């Protein structure tokens, strides 16, 4: 294979890889290759193509979110389905991180270094979950999944500001809210190894959301926009106001959320509970 001449070409190739092990190995390879400034970025005429579906194992069956079967945690099968759902989120996150590198041009090098770091860490998270899934007698693709994260990526292809606001700061930040409760429940049910894996993911994801926050504010400043007002407007415009408890204020604070934003989100939680 000819070596990519830019981080964008490497990103595009990694997005399209279907094989799990190859996607992980190529992600690790290129994040090491492009591990420092100055980066080799693409020429101005390198096209930005639409990617309707990123590379995933062919055996994975995607269904509408409402059609994903709900399984209780009490059975071995239910626990495996839960781990599979988490693995699917992490696999999607690999593609999402690479898509930010590929799609959004003209940024300073740290933007691309940040999202390549995210891609590498998401590979690590996926590998932890997939290995554990194997210990339960299953593999990625054994259960149905939905494509909610990539759907939002598709809705934000034309705006890096919208992408940074809505994928890391809304969809991925939701993991900061619910993961502590998941960890507690896993420990209560004796799933110690699963709890350990989620603790690793939780700490890293705070950093990932912070990266999204930092670049969201960067673009607000470039465009002369009030970051808090714009965040509220985007949540409304994309009909994302329905937020269920809990809201993990300490973790979101660590990830760069302002008190005004957290108060706004808390208000959405309160109105939803009435």
Is the distance from CB of 114 to CB of 211 less than 8 angstroms? Answer: yes
Q: What is the pLDDT of residues 29-83, one digit of tens each?
A: 999 999 888 999 999 999 999 999 999 999 999 888 777 777 777 788 999 999 9
CA pair distance 218, 161, nearest whole angstrom: 9
Q: How many CA atoms lie within 13 A of 263 on its CB side?
A: 5
CA pair distance 96, 107, nearest whole angstrom: 17
Q: What is the pLDDT of residues 76-87, one digit of tens each?
A: 899 999 999 999
Using omega within 30 degrees of 0 as the cis cutoff, is the peptide bond preceding 38 cis? yes
Is the distance from CB of 227 to CB of 216 less than 8 angstroms? Answer: yes
SS3 189: coil
Is the distance from CB of 135 to CB of 196 less than 8 angstroms? Answer: no
Judge whether residue 4 has pLDDT over 60.
Answer: yes
220-244: burial string, b at 16+ Cβ within 10 Å, e else: beeeeeebbebbbebbeeeeeeebe
Judge whether residue 270 has pLDDT over 90.
Answer: no
* Domains assigned to the chain: 7-33+63-273 (1.20.1260)
Helices 7-16 and 76-103, interaxial angle, to 10°? 150
Contacts of 33 (CB under 8 A, 6+ apart): 10
The per-residue pLDDT for 43 is: 92
Judge whether residue 225 has pLDDT over 90.
Answer: yes
Structure tokens that stand for 161 in this block: 């500001």
Per-residue pLDDT band for 179 (boundaries 50, 70, 90) equals very high
CA pair distance 171, 209, nearest whole angstrom: 10
CA pair distance 144, 123, nearest whole angstrom: 20
pTM above 0.85? yes
CA pair distance 27, 11, nearest whole angstrom: 8
């Amino acid at each position: 294979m000819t070596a990519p001449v830019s981080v964008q070409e490497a990103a595009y190739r990694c997005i399209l890889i279907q094989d799990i092990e190859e996607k992980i190995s190529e992600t690790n390879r290129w994040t090491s290759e492009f591990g420092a400034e100055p980066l080799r970025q693409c020429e101005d005429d390198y096209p930005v193509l639409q990617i309707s579906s990123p590379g995933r194992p062919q055996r994975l069956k995607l269904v509408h979110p409402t059609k994903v079967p709900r399984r209780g945690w009490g059975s071995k099968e239910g626990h495996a389905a839960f781990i599979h759902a988490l693995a699917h989120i992490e696999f999607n996150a690999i593609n999402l991180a690479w898509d930010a590198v590929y799609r959004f041009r003209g940024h300073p090098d740290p933007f691309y270094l940040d999202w390549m770091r995210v891609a590498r860490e998401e590979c690590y998270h996926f590998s932890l979950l997939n290995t554990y899934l194997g210990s339960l007698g299953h593999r990625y693709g054994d259960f149905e999944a939905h494509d909610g994260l990539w759907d939002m990526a598709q809705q934000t292809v034309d705006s890096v500001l919208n992408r940074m606001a809505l994928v890391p700061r809304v969809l991925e930040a939701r993991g900061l809210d619910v993961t502590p409760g998941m960890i507690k429940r896993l420990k209560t049910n004796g799933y110690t190894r699963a709890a350990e894996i989620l603790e690793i993911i939780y700490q890293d994801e705070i950093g990932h959301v912070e990266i999204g926050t930092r670049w969201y504010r960067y673009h607000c400043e470039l465009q002369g926009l009030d970051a808090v007002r714009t965040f509220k407007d985007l949540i409304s415009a994309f009909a994302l106001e329905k937020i269920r408890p809990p809201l993990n204020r300490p973790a979101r604070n660590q990830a760069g959320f302002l008190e005004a934003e957290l108060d706004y989100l808390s208000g959405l939680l309160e109105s939803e509970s009435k």
